[in-house]
Structure 1
Amino acid sequence: MSINLRQIAKISAVTATALCAATIAAPSQADAFELKWLGLMQLQGEGNGTGGSVFDYRGIAIKDSGDTITVAINGNMDLFGQEWGNGRNKKVINHGDLFFNFTGKSFKEASDAGELMAINFAQFGSETGAGSTGVYSGVTAKNTTTQNYGWNNLNSWKNAVKQNGQNNNSYGDLTSDSSYFAGQHSGSNKILNAINTGTKVGNIMMMNNDQLSSAGLDFGNFGVDGTKTLGFSFQKTAGFTAGSYIANLFMECGNDGVAIASTLRPNADKKVPEPTLMLGLAGVSGLAMMRRRQQKKA
């Protein structure tokens, strides 16, 4: 059955936990393992994924290993996206682009100034302005939800959440109400979820489950239950400066998103930890993770 994505965002449950944990095998180890657990809303819709919509995210992990960043995304969609609509209106809806903002400005302010960093990792059927997968600097962002049966703005999404009996509009470290998303709360075509312009400055290396596991990542161990895990790594470029950043990612339809506020360390601080580091997170100078947990629909 074909329905507008505005109709499929039905809330099945909310997890109400938010935990931080650090797991170190011995005090002599070089680097700390920082783990953020956040209770996020679960969107349920017409998607065919386990426990929820194919357009839902379950978790995201970002690992800072000195001169390399590794990203893992858990959900129910692969890199080929999901077909939606009928006949001539059928199209592929895919992941949006992953943005990093080191400026301390709101997302739109940084976008308007061309100061965002971004990663394009999903090209198939995508409306991204990136010509190929990779790392982009000097990025401005654009909206693609209109072409993808999606939400006009963040408030329209939040209001649908409330209409379904829930008041949690969290993307992780930020909610949709955050001033960080100023300029995206009302009006048409306001959710900024894809690269518009930018300069490609690096490539990404896609990673399969075995490679992610070898890097010490195990989403399942933390109850992150999406059917697909996507991973990639890339070398830090000049735009990935040491200090605080916000990273966020939305689906092309705007039906779901995740946001992490974390910190990158200077490359000079890179150290090699002892092999006894629990979970095998060798060389980790910082790792931020979020998960989505589903409860049974009432």
Structure 2
Amino acid sequence: MVKRLIIVLMLAFGLANGVASAQEYAVQAVIGIVSEDVPETGRASAYQSHGFRIEGAGLSVTEPQWVLQLPLANGGQESLELEDEALSCTIVPIGDGSKYRVDSDGSIEGQLRFTCLVDGEKAEAAPFRLHLELKPLIEYAAIERIEDNSPYDSYDAYYVVKYHGAEKVKVSVEEEYSSKVKTWYVDEPYIARGVADHIAASYFAWLIFTAENEYGQSVYTIELAPHGVTVQNDPELSMDDGDEAIEVSNVSGVKIGTVGSLSEICNLPYKGVLVIRRICNGKVVETGKYINK
């Protein structure tokens, strides 16, 4: 969905020496800076390109100019003129974040400004405020292939992960009914490939990719159904319309109980890692792990 920052431009005509004439009038024109990938909060990764464009109600816009303003670490300000392409522009990834002033949440707070002529009169849009995050970005992770280890009841999962803003990525494997977590690090830059071996074939498993730097961390999860079938990315357990119950077991497969919502799990006497099955219309529609503290 296109995110909009709607601003109002006041165009004044017939001004001379600061004194209004009888013929002067003001025109309100609604114009917007919109982005396909940056939300209204302005929060986005500093390691990706982001596109913006002007959307107006049939206005006659000429001489468009885009300027990206970013605060420097020395107290100054950097102003970057961006090329206009049919009333649109692109912010390129930030290569060196150390030259900029970074706020407490690891973001560079800047703003995108737009000026132009509307019907021949100068106009300036309210700035689109940006919070460019310097914490690592995991662009994607995927399973490239699964190799069966028959006659053993296990398989190897070959994966690829693309990341930015970190020197390495941590890969962890959690398995259903197992309290052990296998972890290793891959330091191939940008695009890393590896294998998670000897995953129990009969149960669910989760490959968890973590990239970390001084500004924070990003986590990307791939859920694998029995025998390595990819289920979904970043599973988040939640109660939806039509859910009947959540079945709770320990990592050994012993059923502890059934609850109506995740918030009720804290009332269970068992603490630690739990296996959660969300049941809808009599069928298990989602499985995940939950740590009950």
Q: Please say which structure displays the higher CA radius of gyration.
A: 2
Structure with the largest fraction of strand: 2
Structure with the largest fraction of helix: 1
Of structures 1 and 2, the one with the larger relative CO (CA 8 A, separation 6+) is: 1
Task: Give the TM-score range, shorter chain.
Answer: under 0.3
TM score, norm. by length of structure 1 = 0.25
